[in-house]
């Protein structure tokens, strides 16, 4: 545990020095805050452009709070996933091919401590980025468009957090097995494949993390009509499987692990 804690502190220090703890939350913040702001001021923007007839602008509907928050969540499932994958694609691959991992693991440090600390660092970055940006989007939605019920909002946010946690865990696994850019492509392809598979055959992919996305959209609209336990539990299990496979994959690399754990 002490080894994992020391590596975790090193990981957080590295993310602070590379400004990941700054730019990832800021990009998330700008990504989602623009959704309620743009939705509220869109009629004025169109009017200022002069290309839309006044009759059309007079009946232009402003989306409700739930619809806007659904759009916010949609940003996380697309661009948000890409940002996290790009931020984490070198998390292990960069150290393996740069020689840093060999310097660390040649000491009495286990592969489990190394991977667990890396995963915890990425989870911390995800938690910080998502919490700050989601809270800001919620605030501006309430300020400009109206109240968002707290229970559906928190449930929808929690389900999307699980989806993003799965994306981070999958990226960690591929970063352990492949080079950074290949790991990013493989992660995005598998995540996209799960989403496409669920949209084409939802009954076959009811177990998959992709099932969390429509459940979150239904939750934010306060129209959730089925339990979320099965896909939520399966997502947590898949995250743990990814971490376990990353530990196993690191042990099989040509990097010494004196602990052999």
**Residue 209: inside a domain, yes or no?**
yes
Q: Tens digits of per-residue pLDDT, 79-126?
A: 999 999 999 888 888 776 655 555 455 556 788 888 999 999 999 999
Q: Tell whether 223 is covered by a domain.
A: yes
245 contacts: CB under 8 Å, gap ≥ 6:
173
Q: Is residue 40 part of a domain?
A: no
Domain-located, residue 94: yes
Look at 10-19, 92-101, 232-241 and tell me which has the smallest mean pLDDT: 92-101
Closest CA to 240 of 181, 182, 162: 162
Give the C-alpha distances (Å, rounded to integers) separating 75 from 65, 82, 257: 16, 10, 40
Q: Using an 8 Å Cβ cutoff, are 135 and 69 in contact?
A: no
Residue 45 within any structural domain of the chain: no
The structural domain count of the chain equals: 1
Average the pLDDT over each of 57-61, 166-170, 191-195 and give the range with the smallest value: 57-61
Cα torsion 253, 18, 108, 85: sign? negative
Q: What are phi and psi of 70, to 5 degrees?
A: -65, -40
The string of pLDDT tens digits covering residues 172-201 is 999 998 887 899 999 999 999 999 998 898
Tell me whether residue 52 is in a domain: no
Domain coverage including residue 137: 2-31+64-258
Is 133 within 8 Å of 33 (Cβ atoms)? yes
Q: Is residue 146 part of a domain?
A: yes
Has residue 39 been placed in a domain? no
User: pLDDT grade, residue 68 (50/70/90)?
Assistant: very high
Vertex 128, ends 122 and 132: CA angle to 5°?
150
Predicted confidence at residue 258, as pLDDT, reads: 38
**Region 168-175 average pLDDT:** 95
The pTM is what?
0.88
């Amino acid at each position: 545990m002490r080894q994992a804690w020391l590596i975790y502190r090193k990981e957080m220090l590295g993310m602070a020095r590379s400004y990941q703890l700054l730019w990832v939350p800021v990009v998330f913040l700008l990504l989602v805050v623009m959704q309620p702001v743009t939705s509220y001021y869109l009629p004025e923007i169109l009017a200022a452009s002069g290309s839309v007839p006044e009759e059309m602008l007079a009946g232009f509907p402003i989306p409700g709070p739930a619809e806007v928050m659904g759009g916010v969540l949609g940003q996380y499932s697309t661009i948000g996933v890409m940002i996290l994958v790009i931020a984490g694609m070198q998390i292990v691959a960069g150290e393996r091919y740069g020689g840093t991992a060999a310097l660390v693991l040649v000491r009495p440090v286990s592969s489990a401590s190394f991977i667990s600390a890396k995963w915890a660092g990425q989870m911390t970055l995800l938690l910080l980025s998502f919490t700050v940006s989601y809270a800001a989007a919620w605030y501006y939605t309430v300020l400009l468009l109206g109240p968002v019920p707290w229970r559906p909002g928190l449930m929808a946010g929690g389900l999307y957090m699980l989806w993003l946690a799965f994306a981070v865990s999958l990226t960690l696994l591929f970063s352990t097995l492949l080079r950074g850019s290949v790991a990013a492509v493989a992660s995005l392809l598998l995540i996209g494949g799960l989403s496409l598979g669920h949209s084409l055959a939802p009954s076959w992919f009811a177990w998959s993390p992709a099932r969390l996305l429509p459940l979150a959209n239904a939750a934010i609209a306060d129209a959730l009509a089925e339990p979320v336990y099965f896909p939520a539990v399966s997502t947590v299990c898949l995250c743990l499987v990814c971490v376990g496979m990353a530990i196993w994959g690191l042990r099989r690399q040509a990097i010494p692990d004196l602990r052999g754990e």
